[in-house]
Every structure is written in C-alpha cells, then in structure tokens.
Copies of this chain bind each other. A is one copy, B any other.
Amino acid sequence: MTPMSDTRSAKVRLYVEQPLGEGQTVPLSREQAHYLFSVMRLGVGDPVGVFDGHTGEWLARIADAGKRDGALVCETRTKPLRLPPDLWLLFAPIKKARTDFIVEKAAEMGAARICPVQTDFTNAERIRRDRLQAHAVEAAEQCGGTFVPEVCDLQRLSDVLDAWPEGRRLMFCDEMLAGAGAALGDAARGPWAILIGPEGGFSDAERARLRSLPFAHPVSLGPRVLRADTAAVAALTVWQQALGDWG
C-alpha cells in the first residue's frame, strides 16, 4: 500500500490476492481500509490502482468506505502483466533490517523468487516468511510492478543445491574473486539464480562445492568487500544488464 511516485490517474497502488476483472468487487481488509481512508484520506469515488500479480494493473474506484472495511470496484485494465525474468535470488539472512532491505530490493530489481538460505556461517535459524512476503508486496506496490515475487521458506543451501533444477544457472558472488572482474558477458540466457553469501563469507567446504558445480558461474563484485544488502543490489544490476530486462 504505497503512494505512487509518478503521476497516473490513481495515486495509490494496492496489491490484492483476489483475481481481478472488469466490474469485479474487491473487499478491503481492515489494514487496507485503514490505509486508504485514514492514512491516505481517500473516499467513495476516488481512484485506486490495483493488481493481483496475474492480470496486470486495473483502475478501481472506492465504492464503500467504512472504518474497518470497505470495497473497490474494478473498472478498466490500465497496464498489462509484466513478469520479471526467471531469476531467483538466494541469500543468507542477516540482521533484521538488512534482511528486510534485501527482500525489498530484490522485488524492486525484478527477481521472480526470493529464497533465504542457511549457509555454514549464517546466524539465522528461522525467518518470518509472512513479514518478508509483506515487504515484497509493498516494494511491488511502490515500484510500479504488476508482479509480486514469492518469498520461500528458509532452506539449507546444501539441500537447495542437492535438489537444483536442471537447466538453471547460478551466478555465485565470491568475495575471494575481488578485483578479478565480473564475467557474465557471454553467459547464456534462460533460468538463473543469484547467490549472495553471508557476512563472513562462505565456508571453505561451501566454496569448494560451489566452484565444482557445472551450472555455477563465479562473478566478482569489484575490489571492495560489500555488505550482503549492497551485494544483492549490485549483483541484480550486473545480471539484469547482461541477461535480464534492462536491455
């Protein structure tokens, strides 16, 4: 639930789980009603942009505005669905605020799936998946996207690698390569994942395994050691420029 930063007919964009269509009524949750009516001070008849992650963006109008609930009616489709490239972001959760940032950044930068992974040097034993998913929703609302990436449950990196899907390549950001230059120039398009290591880096065993994987491409992110949240945005930029939808 975020005010838009550019000017279109609706100033507020809202992600809803219900499938949208012309004339469709969309009931509002208590939180959504509070945001639209109390925070943004909208009322009956005001326009709201809505998207469901599957059918693009729609212009809706407020049909009913209560204290704890309300409803929109969906009018016309204003944007087609735009899917991000088939890119997963795997990262080791770090301190709460920086983990929230990584999820927000991954959604803004166009990752299709966000996968927290536990590495040998990861401190986090669990994550709040629902809270991270809410950050992904808010980032999609903010950045004008029509798609919300799925946040997966925390898995062990070794389990993820054991079950690695055929045909998906892995860009693995190795701080031990510092200064060796990025190397995605002639890599093939198709399904990819990016793996960002934890603070403290990968263990020797993990690094050896990652280097031996036939689908893994080690890439350097320059001569300075980046924090995990910086590395996530930098890696997404490198990938989107070389193989994604920035071209």
The chain A residues found within 8 Å of chain B, CB to CB, are 5-6, 82, 101, 104-105, 108-110, 142-145, 175, 181-182, 199-201, 220-227, 230, 233-234, 236-238, 240-241, 244-247
Please tell me if the beta carbons of A224 and B5 are within 8 angstroms of each other in the complex.
no
B residues less than 8 Å from A182 (CB atoms):
241, 246
Closest to A222 in B: B246
Please tell me if the beta carbons of B223 and A245 are within 8 angstroms of each other in the complex.
yes
Partner of A108 from B226, B240, B241, B245 at Cβ < 8 Å:
B226
Please tell me if the beta carbons of B5 and A200 are within 8 angstroms of each other in the complex.
yes
16 contacts between A and B (CB under 8 A): A6-B201, A105-B230, A109-B222, A109-B224, A142-B225, A143-B225, A181-B246, A182-B241, A182-B246, A222-B240, A222-B244, A222-B245, A233-B233, A233-B234, A233-B237, A234-B237
Please tell me if the beta carbons of B110 and A224 are within 8 angstroms of each other in the complex.
yes
Q: What 7 A-B pairs have minimum CB-CB distances, sorted nearest first?
A: A233-B233, A237-B237, A222-B246, A234-B237, A143-B224, A144-B225, A143-B225
B residues less than 8 Å from A181 (CB atoms):
246-247
B residues less than 8 Å from A221 (CB atoms):
237, 246
CA distance A36 to B41 in the complex (A): 51
Please tell me if the beta carbons of A109 and B234 are within 8 angstroms of each other in the complex.
yes
CA distance A82 to B225 in the complex (A): 13
Partner of A142 from B200, B227, B241 at Cβ < 8 Å:
B227
How many Å from the CB of A229 to the closest CB on chain B?
8
Please tell me if the beta carbons of A230 and B227 are within 8 angstroms of each other in the complex.
no
Given contacts A233-B230, A234-B109, contact A6 B224 (CB under 8 A): no
B residues less than 8 Å from A101 (CB atoms):
101
How many Å from the CB of A114 to the closest CB on chain B?
15
Please tell me if the beta carbons of B199 and A109 are within 8 angstroms of each other in the complex.
no
B residues less than 8 Å from A246 (CB atoms):
181-182, 220-223
Closest to A178 in B: B144
How many Å from the CB of A140 to the closest CB on chain B?
9
Partner of A230 from B108, B220, B224, B244 at Cβ < 8 Å:
B108
CA distance A104 to B233 in the complex (A): 14
Given contacts A223-B246, A245-B222, contact A109 B230 (CB under 8 A): yes
